[in-house]
Amino acid sequence: MTRYFSEDHEWIEVEGDLGTVGITDYAQGQLGDITFVDLPAEGATVAKGDSVSVVDSVKAASDVYTPVSGTIAEVNAALEDQPELVNTEAETGGWLFRVTLGDVSELGALMDEAAYQAYLESL
């Protein structure tokens, strides 16, 4: 599996033509305690950069943008009852949705982990 990152602090882990998407540990730290996650509809067609989810926290509500185009294959239903998983397991069990990739070439515009860490240091 290969993991990529966006400048909007989303991550996507790709296996075959399926990508699992969530927000980074940095992003959840900036938001504070997550109180609710509005997940996209399964089966929805999305375009790279679309706002597809909203994460509400004690500090703010933040849009989550899909880093790739495709079709929403699955959402993390556990977040309905446990939105705090985004805080405690941001880059593992706190994933938001899975997307069937529509255009694999879009991954080339994302950062690998080393580039993302350098990006964070520049903020």
Could you read off the pLDDT of 79-122 as tens digits, one per residue? 999 999 999 999 999 999 999 999 999 999 999 999 999 999 99
The pTM (predicted TM-score) of the whole model is: 0.96
Q: Which domains does the chain have, with CATH numbers?
A: 2-103 (2.40.50.100)
SS3 percent helix, strand, coil of the chain, rounded to 5, is 25, 40, 35
Angle at 9 between CA 101 and CA 102, to 5 degrees: 10
Q: What is the mean pLDDT of residues 29-36?
A: 96
CA distance 33 to 85: 10
Place of tokens 């509005």: 38
**Is 1 a residue whose pLDDT tops 90?**
no
